[in-house]
Amino acid sequence: MAPSRTVDERTKALVAPVSAAVQSACADPKQDAANERSQASFNPEELAVLMQGGQSKADLNKRAVELLQELPFGDKTRRYMLTRPEEYVGGLEAGVAIWNMRNAGKISHGEAMAMRRQLNWPGGLELHLGMFIPSILAHGTDEQQAYWMPKCERLEVIGTYAQTELGHGTFLRGLETVAVFDPDTDEFVVHSPTLTATKWWPGGLGKTATHVILMARLVSRGRDYGVHSFVMQIRDLPTHRPLPGVTVGDIGPKLGYQGVDNGYLSFDHVRIPRSALLSRWSKLDAAGNYTPPPPANAKASYATMVFVRADIVKNAGDFLSRAVTIATRYAAVRRQTAPAAGARELQVLDYDNVSQTLLPLVARAYALSFMGRELFGMYSRYVRDRERGVFGDLPELHALSSGLKAACTEQTANGIETCRRTCGGHGYSQLSGLPNLFAYYVQNVTWEGENSVMYLQAARFLIKAALAVRGGKLPEELAPSARFLGARGDAVSGVRGARGWADPAAQVEGLAHVARHLTLQALRVLLAANGGQPAFEGAAWNGSSVDLIRAARAFCMLELHRTFVAAVEECAAQGLSAATADALRALEANGDLLESGFITQEQAAALRDAKRQLVREVRPDAVAYTDGFGYDDYLLNSALGRKDGDVYRALLDMAQASPLNDSEEGPAWDAVLKAQLGSTKAKL
Amino acid sequence: MAPSRTVDERTKALVAPVSAAVQSACADPKQDAANERSQASFNPEELAVLMQGGQSKADLNKRAVELLQELPFGDKTRRYMLTRPEEYVGGLEAGVAIWNMRNAGKISHGEAMAMRRQLNWPGGLELHLGMFIPSILAHGTDEQQAYWMPKCERLEVIGTYAQTELGHGTFLRGLETVAVFDPDTDEFVVHSPTLTATKWWPGGLGKTATHVILMARLVSRGRDYGVHSFVMQIRDLPTHRPLPGVTVGDIGPKLGYQGVDNGYLSFDHVRIPRSALLSRWSKLDAAGNYTPPPPANAKASYATMVFVRADIVKNAGDFLSRAVTIATRYAAVRRQTAPAAGARELQVLDYDNVSQTLLPLVARAYALSFMGRELFGMYSRYVRDRERGVFGDLPELHALSSGLKAACTEQTANGIETCRRTCGGHGYSQLSGLPNLFAYYVQNVTWEGENSVMYLQAARFLIKAALAVRGGKLPEELAPSARFLGARGDAVSGVRGARGWADPAAQVEGLAHVARHLTLQALRVLLAANGGQPAFEGAAWNGSSVDLIRAARAFCMLELHRTFVAAVEECAAQGLSAATADALRALEANGDLLESGFITQEQAAALRDAKRQLVREVRPDAVAYTDGFGYDDYLLNSALGRKDGDVYRALLDMAQASPLNDSEEGPAWDAVLKAQLGSTKAKL
């Protein structure tokens, strides 16, 4: 801040009328935000409760924010300013503190989890809670669980999950770390035979974890039984130094997640007891005789995978809705360029290309949230059926959860970046929250199954269904989501004009037609590459992957839209007319509809008209839809996404915490600038 | 590193055969990289010289790297590890040091500029060199230049360019900062009448600049003459503290550019002399009488804009080529997933969907570089013509430079991110260089004209040309790049089979057809929105912007491809067969070709076949093409983009510099973990 000083009255008088003219023409973003809300056609409060999962969850979120605001680590003022070590230490401190509060009974488990969500500070504890504990529960014997779980709960140990290696990602069979059984001592010798065997990426491994779930090849009596899970200590507890033979450290900075100490880990002939093998399913006796897991176990681990993917899809909705909340609110108060001399600058949201970008993304965010719920529902039904010994739905569930994992993460990652770009210059400021949102989200297109691999899983299901149809199966004999492949469907769309496209049934039929056409086209390419025979691996499959992925993406768009239409019908009372906007977005993105021969040039033009009209219809509700996601300013931590619209004040206030502002002269004065500039006279 | 310790012989003997088996199956990335080069069909050295702009420029780049490697600030080992203050101080130190070496005659100006490029460390000096000095040269009188230039050259002052404000971006007329002339003292009073008048974003403003080119409304004798340039001191030189009435600081962290102190600046009735007004074109006398710039001046500033955009397009090629170099080299040595049990894991570049993503981007990077050269050529021709008083080409040059600015930056920003995603998990590591490449590049879609605004400039040119054709103008009466709108063209493509699409003429004709169709469609939408009359602003223009932007994008794809085809013909000797791959990529991206009715379903399928085949044909040259860009490992600073393929060693080595690795226990031990874990017994 400049020191206060006196400006003489004559100067004030000279400038005052000029200032007054500027001030009277100046827009008031708070007023713009209020105007947006006053023109909404529905009350977003109700919707916000629904989207948070009901009143009790909404209350929990509110309570979590209140709790956090009273705690030192809950202050987000400097969050975007932290160095990596500060972000790492702070995140861990917060994570440990919340967990200790829970253990001490000061807060409930639900409050602890809600606080973690609202604090939104991933750190060294994520994989302890998210992978170490669940692995012990899933793969440990009752004795192993009884031994480890109390220590885990009390944070007397902190674990992580060490699977990926420098040279190996998701391909489990390629892992190079070995655990060789030594029957003479009843121990395994854990060893990294190559540089590429170095474990790489596990969160919390670098400087936090004392233990790991180690994924390594179990070798006994000269035989390699493939990759198994071991629980293994890597650091000495009283000193936190690596145990002998263990090399461990931080892998350096990443895109996002600076608070997480993703680590590397390698072994030089390190001995661990036989009891380190998690033995609920696979066992090794003292003589080194191996018992493989029961065959049904594979299906259990499929279920876990489906659960994780349902969570990823739900999460996609969460992240995209945060991004559209920020971008839409800002576009509503940002004014840029007067359409004519003397006119007021337009709200950015009133530029047609902006509203036609943002509003379909708002609808998409709702669609993704509904899809996540639907997948959780399918998972629950599967678990219920499995308990009755019924496994029929598994291939479909696997295909849907794989494909939708890819489609939803792809749309959210790209959608966040699109939102950021609509914010213009201020979207580049970390204080907008958007660069971080992207950096923290985008990994979802890669982890838990790289997206092209995921699409190909869904494509396998589609190709099998298409072959079944060809072999004479009737639609009702196919899995429900594949029945569109057996349906006849009209060869040519009968939709007329823009109004016709507003009908959800027409939208779904259009998307089904595209998915059918692309599936059959991919099948043709695949058969042509393999002498007329189907193949599901090898050169022919690989050589058809671009077409297969395209078909799977179209299939997922169909599923997503079908689910959205059904969900909107269920809660039409909340006023979700953006449904149709989403639909048209989905259709328009595909030139595929034309290639399939389903629609004509005129119908395509009508489709674009329909989209244009629909976006204009829902424009007055834009800000209300973002309120309907129910995010607190505290969670968003965004100067641009503030509910009250006071974005410019927020930017200026938040910038004060920049470490470069610690002194007026700045950190380069003594080191660089003084010698260069300081010898000159005071004023030029 | 783990302390050395002795492993007993029996343990070694137990593990040795297992290790040997793993080692023998393990891939050697250096060998993979060497194999790629040995299978190339051409020698990339020659191409690398061409792409760097000739032998003397290639030598300069090499020399710059040698010079930098002998200087302390030239060490890039810790570059990805720096805190913001470290990155700011380091970048400024390097920038000042290089400039002082040049001023002292230790290096040539060319060497200084090459060192700045190879060092690649944007900091507080960028706008001094890139905007402050050029503004004084463009808008200062001879006396002003004589006064300021020596000080600028010797870095006795450091300047920046203060235009954008918190509430105002590119819309110059909206700026709120005022400079009110006081004839009694022959001074201006500079004042910020509103919060939104706060200058925001200028690089180097936060803590470095002593002076600014201030863009403010000149008000004299009660009349507002609009925005003018003033040169103004903001900091005291001996102390570097803000002058009275000046508030200045850093705006906080951004997406990329952490070394730059982008700043904010506001004024409380600050007096500057009348001589602060840069008066080459506009003048104010001591009585406050204003003389406006001569009318021809607007055309001069257009020329500057064209030059800047040509540079942006060239730069787009540079950035995309760096990204594809890193991603392609890594995809060639990364192996992932064995196609069948017992088989070797495949090189990621041999997955069809990866090669069909990366190779077209390689071609695109070459295309963007050629386009940049072509635009520079057009600019030079324009400047030559202007000197002869000929201004005819300006509307076309303006349209092309606007549209291509948008198209090229959009493709590069999205292309870098696509490259990053093909790198899987390791693409998230900052050590790959890719997250930074994106963060430093993506602003180009926003600055110097936000892309949708730029596309609309090109659309205006297209619509005018389309109206001229409608009014009876013949193709040869149109600007050369618009002649395709007047050409008849076949109504339906005659291309047969995949081979047919390999013909550049067929590709260009296809793209021309799409651009023509979309221009006419946008015109229809525009006329329909305005009662049959054309409009170039207001609601009808705004309401047609989605279609207008689509048409402009198609027009730019046509220009880009036309230029590429011509350039490749010129240097076919270098073996640039990827040209065709690029073409097909461009075509395929448009479902538009179908919507235009130009091609049939069968032709579309053939187009996809053609692309598939072409990518396979150029696959053996993939790595050689990246060598052809001529980048030194020093510039790329990427563990994954290393020329020798030794990527895993590089990741591990580079990670050692992480500040979290400064101690074995890590920075959270004393503060958080000791209390939680330290009291437990040593080993569980």
Per-residue pLDDT, B294: 85
State in Å, rounded, how far the first CA of chain B is from the last one.
23
- Whether the pLDDT of residue B587 is over 50: the answer is no
B chain contacts of residue A457, beta-carbon cutoff 8 Å: none
d(CA B102, CA B94): 12
CB A584 within 8 A of CB A611: yes
Q: Which residue of B has its CA nearest to A543?
A: B352
Closest among A456, A458, A592, A441 to A512, alpha carbons compared: A592
Q: Which residue of A has its CA nearest to B447?
A: A425
Per-residue pLDDT, A344: 85
pLDDT band at A589 (very low <50, low <70, confident <90, very high): very low
pLDDT band at A303 (very low <50, low <70, confident <90, very high): confident
Residue A352: which of B243, B256, B542 has the nearest Cβ? Answer: B542
The answer to whether residue B261 neighbours chain A at the CB level (below 8 Å) is yes
Q: Do B590 and A591 touch (CB under 8 A)?
A: yes
Per-residue pLDDT, B66: 97
Distances (CA, A) of A62 to A325, A366, A634: 18, 21, 10
pLDDT band at A77 (very low <50, low <70, confident <90, very high): very high
Give the DSSP letter of residue B625.
H
Per-residue pLDDT, B316: 97
Q: Is B170 annotated as a binding residue?
A: no
Per-residue pLDDT, A590: 45
pLDDT band at A4 (very low <50, low <70, confident <90, very high): low
The answer to whether residue B400 neighbours chain A at the CB level (below 8 Å) is no
- Whether the pLDDT of residue A64 is over 50: the answer is yes
d(CA A183, CA A99): 40
Q: How much is the ipTM here?
A: 0.94
Residues linked to residue A217 through DSSP beta bridges, in sequence order = A178, A227
Q: Spell out the residues 6+ positions from residue A419 whose beta carbon is closer than 8 angstroms to its own.
A: A323, A324, A326, A327, A358, A361, A427, A434
Q: Do B166 and A238 touch (CB under 8 A)?
A: no
pTM exceeds 0.90: yes
For residues A311-328, average pLDDT:
96
Per-residue pLDDT, A33: 97
SS3 A231: strand
pLDDT band at A384 (very low <50, low <70, confident <90, very high): confident
SS3 A372: helix
Residue B424: which of A169, A180, A537 has the nearest Cβ? Answer: A169
Closest among B571, B579, B593 to B502, alpha carbons compared: B579
Q: Do A542 and B674 touch (CB under 8 A)?
A: no
For residues B384-413, average pLDDT:
88
Q: Do A674 and B240 touch (CB under 8 A)?
A: yes
Q: Spell out the residues 6+ positions from residue B204 whose beta carbon is closer than 8 angstroms to its own.
A: B123, B124, B125, B126, B127, B128, B158, B159, B160, B260, B261, B262, B263
The answer to whether residue A337 neighbours chain B at the CB level (below 8 Å) is yes
- Whether the pLDDT of residue A323 is over 70: the answer is yes
Q: Which of A77, A158, A673 to mutate to test the interface with B (most CBs of B within 10 A)?
A: A673
For residues A501-519, average pLDDT:
86
Place of tokens 């100490």: A261
| Cα dihedral B561, B564, B568, B574 sign | negative
Mean pLDDT of chain B: 91
User: How much of chain A, in percent, has pLDDT values that exceed 90?
Assistant: 72
Size of the A and B interface in Cβ pairs below 8 Å: 520
The answer to whether residue A219 neighbours chain B at the CB level (below 8 Å) is yes
At residue A84's C-alpha, the angle toward residues A78 and A85, to 5°, is 100
Per-residue pLDDT, B299: 67
pLDDT digits (tens, 9 = 90+) for A455-494: 999 999 999 999 999 999 999 999 999 999 998 767 788 8
CB A560 within 8 A of CB A404: yes
d(CA B81, CA B87): 9
Closest among A648, A571, A192 to B201, alpha carbons compared: A648
Q: Return the higher-pLDDT residue of A611 and B319.
A: B319
Q: Return the higher-pLDDT residue of B528 and B593.
A: B528
pLDDT band at B580 (very low <50, low <70, confident <90, very high): very low
The whole-angstrom distance between A245's CA and the closest CA on chain B is: 6
d(CA B625, CA B618): 9
Q: Which residue of B has its CA nearest to A679?
A: B238
At residue B608's C-alpha, the angle toward residues B606 and B613, to 5°, is 90
Structure tokens that stand for B626 in this block: 């990246």
For residues B661-665, average pLDDT:
96
Q: Return the higher-pLDDT residue of B385 and A637.
A: A637
Closest among B642, B339, B61, B72 to A453, alpha carbons compared: B339
- Whether the pLDDT of residue A401 is over 70: the answer is yes
pLDDT digits (tens, 9 = 90+) for B286-297: 999 999 988 766
- Whether the pLDDT of residue B574 is over 90: the answer is no
The answer to whether residue A674 neighbours chain B at the CB level (below 8 Å) is yes
B chain contacts of residue A537, beta-carbon cutoff 8 Å: 339-340
Closest among B257, B437, B266 to A660, alpha carbons compared: B257
Q: Flag the least confident range among B263-277, B347-361, B634-648.
A: B347-361
Place of tokens 């035989």: A223
B chain contacts of residue A542, beta-carbon cutoff 8 Å: 339, 350-352
SS3 B190: strand
The answer to whether residue B549 neighbours chain A at the CB level (below 8 Å) is yes
pLDDT digits (tens, 9 = 90+) for A324-363: 999 999 999 999 988 777 788 999 999 999 998 998 898 8
pLDDT band at B160 (very low <50, low <70, confident <90, very high): very high
- Whether the pLDDT of residue B33 is over 90: the answer is yes
Give the DSSP letter of residue A45.
H
SS3 B270: strand
Q: Which residue of A has its CA nearest to B342?
A: A173
- Whether the pLDDT of residue B584 is over 70: the answer is no
Distances (CA, A) of A405 to A458, A480, A547, B105: 10, 19, 19, 60
Q: Do A88 and B2 touch (CB under 8 A)?
A: no
Per-residue pLDDT, A577: 53
CB A349 within 8 A of CB A32: no
pLDDT digits (tens, 9 = 90+) for A96-147: 999 999 999 999 999 999 999 999 999 999 999 999 999 999 999 999 999 9
Q: Which of A171, A455, A672 to mutate to test the interface with B (most CBs of B within 10 A)?
A: A672
Distances (CA, A) of B418 to A170, A542, B415, B435, B619: 20, 20, 5, 11, 18
pLDDT digits (tens, 9 = 90+) for A215-243: 999 999 999 999 999 999 999 999 999 99
The answer to whether residue A440 neighbours chain B at the CB level (below 8 Å) is no
List, by residue number, the catalytic residues of B: 448
Q: Which residue of A has its CA nearest to B432?
A: A254
Angle in degrees, 0-180, between the axes of helices A545-570 and A352-387, rounded to the nearest 10: 90
Q: Each residue of A585-600: b (16+ CB within 10 Å) or e?
A: bbbbebbbbbbbebbe
Per-residue pLDDT, A580: 47
A chain contacts of residue B199, beta-carbon cutoff 8 Å: none
